[in-house]
Structure 1
Amino acid sequence: MTNENTKFINSLFLKNLLENQFGQKDVKIKTYTAEQPSENGNVYTRAAISRIFVKFSSATKSEEVLSFVMKIKPTKGELSDEFKVSGDFMKEVQVYRNVLPAISTTLKKIGEKIEFTPNVISTFNIPTDGIVFEEVTNRGYHIQFEKTGLNFEQSVLALQKLACFHAASAMLMENTSLDLDRFSKGTFHNDWKNKLEYFTEAYRLVIDNANGLGIDNTIQQKLKEFSTRSIPKVIEDYTSAIKGFKVLNHGDFYTRNIFFKYKGNELVDVLFVDFQNAVIGTPLIDLFYFLTSSVAVSVLATSRDELVYAYHEALSTLLESLGYQGYIPSLNDIQVEFLKRSSMEMYFGLTLAPYLRSFEPRIVTAVQPSLYKDEYLQQLKKNGKEVLIQNKDFIIGQLKRFDVIGTLDCASNDGRIGGIKSRFSGKV
């Protein structure tokens, strides 16, 4: 059924859509329904979503049924007010309307056709802005809702496809006249400094529950010391580049925004959705986000370096094939940058990943600070401890690794991490 934000979806709207975008002729709508996806399947977040089922006749068929998904910028309610002061929804529209077609053109020049997202049937701006997607499950794509995280094979394929998107976007930015200013700000930016209370509270929640989580006293003290400088440091890391190399990041790259396709038992493809937090910057934004939020803890423990290698190999191969003239980061560059920017990874791992990995209780994270609401912060304070305990093994494992590589010392002593970096770079 329709609601205040989707009541314009009627027989006339659907008739025009089917005739103009699906190539049907003489359409007569018989019945239709507009349903909200279930919470577990609702990956098209921060908008009004409807899965449309329509039964109709046309010039060639007496009866046919189609289904598709519509993502709509709200016109009523609290989200409507928020979007008036935020450009996040239009970020996504621009990705589908301009960026992805331009990337496809770039790839065609070397004979490549890479599908990154579900097919977009149309975008519209009357009576509000919206996007019409294919119902991608009809082609066998599904979200993997394993509570344990993605396995090695799934993680490798997701990172390889991400690397191709990053490479194509870097090439596009080098040669395009597209206005990409909309993508200049992501989650951590100086303009959002007064909107990052969620992160300081989420970080404090770890410290307050450190004993219950089994965090030893030495690490607890280092976490407390780092808290005084955490936001400026993470903003610095988030807005950095690898020797000038930047890409268009997805910005919210984790399990619920990734569709996998199998043929029998063989994993064959992966697609992405939800680009509302897309941002130009270091590729570590997506890499850290994905590694901390989506990969199985056991895979992280045994195969983290292999995942980074798979990403880099795909990135450098495609950049070279495209004839990219800018600086192409070496694997060594990325390894050094992982150490240099590990404060951001740790911050993602403590303030975002536990809540992205958990199903119940569900806590909304402040990935889009401009749209964050106070009630979500109350939700964090009420249920956050439970989620942290659910993810105790992940948190402890990550903190031990960060202590070893010197991340926890960087607030007061850059020397140790600089020494570790020198193992890769030959410089201190």
Structure 2
Amino acid sequence: MFDKEFFEKLLNLKVSNLKIENACEIGENFVSKVERIFIYGIKNDIDFQTSLILKTFSTNPATQSHNFDKQFQNESIFYKTILNLLNKYSRSTLKTPKCFYNNEKHLIFEDLTLDGFKTKPKGHRFDLNEAKLVIKEISKMHSASLSLQIKDSKSFLEVLSNLHSFMNKEGNQLLEKCYLDHLNTSIKIFEENSEIVTFLKSLKENVYSKVIEIFEKPTEIKVLNHGDLWGNNIFFKNDVDIKIIDFQMLHYGSPAMDLVYFLWINLDSENRKTNFKELLECYIENLKRFSFENDIDSNLINKMTLQWIQNEMKTFTLYGMLCCFIFLPVFYINLDDISRNYHLDNVYMKLMNDSYKENMINAVRDFIHFQNYNF
């Protein structure tokens, strides 16, 4: 399908050769196969070379059996309609890669590395400046979604009706299994601390239902969340600019979903606790600024307070801890131990090194800390 003739039409050039290589390491991408396509040819009588990123829905049984195709379709919908709508009703353009081709099984993007963008190394913990860059972009997307739902409610409701949320009452067997697996691993890590073990065991019963309750709790301000802001989905350029990729886990709800997910997964415990207030202030400041630029009603902007987002964050703290449990193994697993099928059950206990244990312990302690946090 993606032969020389296809890319000649796509890029308006004469293609002489194509070369394909993997663009992601094993364990860095779970729903799709990501490849870099090198394109060699002639354009305007001059030798031409470029590369594009081809993202293909994975055909392995693990992804198909858990309805990951619906997540892939979310991203297709995002680039077909949602991104244009968000940019239409926002004074500031969202920083995402250009999409050249889009259907339900394939997406073709610009190669961000050609412009100097790259992700941080696996397991990198974001510093304060890096975190603020991301939070600024999160606030821009959230404000754009508010602007869209206020100014074009018909289009916004149509968008929501086409998206598949991974958090729903009907259940998500894979996610529920992940929660239970990682709680069991944590219990083994904390076996010498009876108080924490008792606490973790209390979470095991109906853990998925508890998370759903968090997502369904009423909130004054609901936005379209990215839903998957871990390091591999954030590209940096010279630590002054970013672009965000992978819009498969979009979810409409409290903005705390994105904030908790991002802060728990990408920041270490010390940075998270030391700079928590400053990072939330950064979010509120930029959310208000973008919302003012987007001509959002001042009564709604006045509701965007530090106290409001603090309360939202407290509600979502359990979700943040559970996300930390799920993603920490990705930072520590030896890539030789796993395949693209993402069967991690047999390698969890290989993670019991001091650094992994310390981060797991801090995830639990931070949950307790932020449940009682006051500015």
TM-score, length-scaled by structure 1: 0.77
Q: From the superposition, tell whether residues 156 and 17 of structure 1 become closer, same or farther in structure 2 (CA, over 3 Å).
A: same
The match for 1:154 is 130
Secondary structure in 2 matching 1:333: helix
Secondary structure in 2 matching 1:271: strand
Determine whether 1:397 maps to 2:362. Answer: yes
* Rounded Cα–Cα distance in structure 1 between residues aligned with 2:55 and 2:219: 34
The match for 1:5 is none
The match for 1:65 is 49
* Rounded Cα–Cα distance in structure 1 between residues aligned with 2:293 and 2:183: 42
Determine whether 1:355 maps to 2:329. Answer: yes
Shift of 1:161: 0.9
The match for 2:307 is 332
Shift of 1:92: 0.1
Gaps of 5+ in 1: 1-7, 20-26, 365-372, 408-419
The match for 1:197 is 177
Shift of 1:66: 1.8
* Rounded Cα–Cα distance in structure 2 between residues aligned with 1:395 and 1:259: 26
User: What is the aligned counterpart of 2:7 among 14, 27, 40?
Assistant: 14
Q: How high is the sequence identity, in percent, across the aligned residues?
A: 20
The number of residue pairs the alignment matches comes to 366
Shift of 1:185: 4.7
The match for 1:275 is 247
Determine whether 1:285 maps to 2:257. Answer: yes
Shift of 1:85: 7.7
Q: From the superposition, tell whether residues 79 and 47 of structure 1 become closer, same or farther in structure 2 (CA, over 3 Å).
A: farther
* Rounded Cα–Cα distance in structure 2 between residues aligned with 1:284 and 1:362: 35
The match for 2:101 is 122
Q: From the superposition, tell whether residues 151 and 320 of structure 1 become closer, same or farther in structure 2 (CA, over 3 Å).
A: same
Secondary structure in 1 matching 2:31: coil
Q: From the superposition, tell whether residues 14 and 164 of structure 1 become closer, same or farther in structure 2 (CA, over 3 Å).
A: same
The match for 2:350 is 386
* Rounded Cα–Cα distance in structure 2 between residues aligned with 1:289 and 1:358: 19
Instruction: Report the AA paired with residue 177 of structure 2.
Output: E
Shift of 1:358: 3.0
Gaps of 5+ in 2: none
Instruction: Report the AA paired with residue 48 of structure 1.
Output: K
Instruction: Report the AA paired with residue 93 of structure 1.
Output: S
Q: Where does 1:22-421 land on structure 2 (aligned, <5 Å)?
A: 27-39=13-25, 45-58=30-43, 60-73=44-57, 77-78=60-61, 81-82=64-65, 86-107=69-90, 112-123=91-102, 125=103, 129-145=105-121, 147-176=123-152, 177-178=154-155, 179-182=158-161, 185-195=164-174, 196-211=176-191, 216-243=193-220, 245-262=221-238, 267-325=239-297, 327=300, 328-349=303-324, 351-360=325-334, 376=342, 379-380=344-345, 382-387=346-351, 389=353, 390-404=355-369, 407=371
Structure of greater Rg: 1
* Rounded Cα–Cα distance in structure 2 between residues aligned with 1:65 and 1:149: 35
Q: From the superposition, tell whether residues 362 and 143 of structure 1 become closer, same or farther in structure 2 (CA, over 3 Å).
A: farther
- 8 A Cα contact 2:57 2:69, kept in partner: no
Secondary structure in 1 matching 2:87: helix
Secondary structure in 1 matching 2:171: helix
Q: From the superposition, tell whether residues 122 and 198 of structure 1 become closer, same or farther in structure 2 (CA, over 3 Å).
A: same
* Rounded Cα–Cα distance in structure 2 between residues aligned with 1:270 and 1:122: 22
Shift of 1:253: 0.7
* Rounded Cα–Cα distance in structure 2 between residues aligned with 1:204 and 1:173: 41
Secondary structure in 2 matching 1:379: coil
Instruction: Report the AA paired with residue 224 of structure 2.
Output: L
* Rounded Cα–Cα distance in structure 2 between residues aligned with 1:240 and 1:363: 39
- 8 A Cα contact 1:293 1:352, kept in partner: no
* Rounded Cα–Cα distance in structure 1 between residues aligned with 2:364 and 2:63: 40
Q: From the superposition, tell whether residues 33 and 197 of structure 1 become closer, same or farther in structure 2 (CA, over 3 Å).
A: same
* Rounded Cα–Cα distance in structure 2 between residues aligned with 1:39 and 1:298: 29
- 8 A Cα contact 2:227 2:258, kept in partner: yes
Secondary structure in 2 matching 1:160: helix
TM-score, length-scaled by structure 2: 0.87
- 8 A Cα contact 1:15 1:29, kept in partner: yes
RMSD of Structure 2 on Structure 1 (CA):
2.8
Shift of 1:182: 5.0
- 8 A Cα contact 1:240 1:281, kept in partner: no
Shift of 1:356: 4.1
Secondary structure in 1 matching 2:275: helix
* Rounded Cα–Cα distance in structure 2 between residues aligned with 1:303 and 1:310: 10
